[in-house]
Chain A
Amino acid sequence: MGNNVWRRVWPPAVSFVAFVALWQLSCSIFKIDPWILPSPAKIAVHLAEDAPAWSRHLAATLRLVLSGLALGVATGIAVAVVLHLMPLVRSAVSPFIIAFQNVPIIALGPLLMIWFGFGLTPKLILLTLVCFFPVAWSMLAGLGRTEPHLREYLEMIGSTKWDILRRLELPASLPFLVSGLKIAVTYSVSTAMWAEWLGADKGIGYYLIIKFKGYDITAVFGAVICIVTLSLALYGLAALLERRIVYWRPRSRAGRAGDAK
Chain B
Amino acid sequence: MSKLELRNISKSYVRDKKTFSVLDDITISVGEGEFVTLIGPSGSGKSTMFRLIGGVETPDRGQVLIGGRDVTGVRGLISYMPQQASLFPWMTVRDNIVSALEIAGAARGEARASAEDWLRRIELDSVAGEYPHVLSGGMQQRISFLRALLMPRDVMCLDEPFAALDALTRTEMQRWLLKLWEDQRRSVLFVTHSIEEALTLSDRIYVLSPAPARVLREITVPFERPRRADVWTLPAFTALKRDILALLGEGDGDSDAI
Contacts and interface: CB of A to CB of B under 8 A. Distances in A.
Interface of A: 149-150, 152-159, 163, 167-168, 171-172, 174, 247-252, 254-261
Given A149-B86, A257-B164, A157 B133 contact: no
A154 B54 CA distance: 10
A250 B133 CA distance: 8
Contact of B56 (A156, A255, A256): A156
B62 to A, nearest CB: 19
Interface in B156-197: 157, 159-160, 163-164, 191, 193
B256 interface: yes
8 contacts: A149-B86, A152-B86, A157-B54, A157-B78, A247-B90, A256-B164, A261-B47, A261-B48
Nearest to B43: A260
Contacts of A247: 90
Contacts of A260: 42-43, 47
Contacts, number: 98
Contacts of A159: 76, 103
B189 to A, nearest CB: 12
Interface residues of B, number: 42
A152 B90 CA distance: 17
B82 interface: yes
Given A153-B80, A251-B132, A158 B47 contact: no
A150 B91 CA distance: 13
Contacts of B47: 259-261
Contacts of B86: 149-150, 152-153
Contacts of B151: 157
Question: At the interface, is chain B mostly helix, strand, loop or mixed?
Answer: loop
B209 interface: no
Contacts of B77: 158
B50 interface: yes
Given A251-B132, A254-B137, A258-B193, A149 B46 contact: no
Interface string B23-63: 00000000000000000001110111011001110000000
B229 to A, nearest CB: 25
Contacts of B12: none
Nearest to B41: A259
**Residue of A153, A168, A257, A259 with most chain B CB atoms under a 10 A cut-off:** A259
Contacts of A172: 90
B80 A156 contact: yes
Contacts of B83: 256, 258-259
Nearest to B75: A158
B173 to A, nearest CB: 14
B89 interface: yes
Q: Which 4 A-B pairs have the closest CB atoms?
A: A158-B76, A158-B75, A260-B43, A153-B86
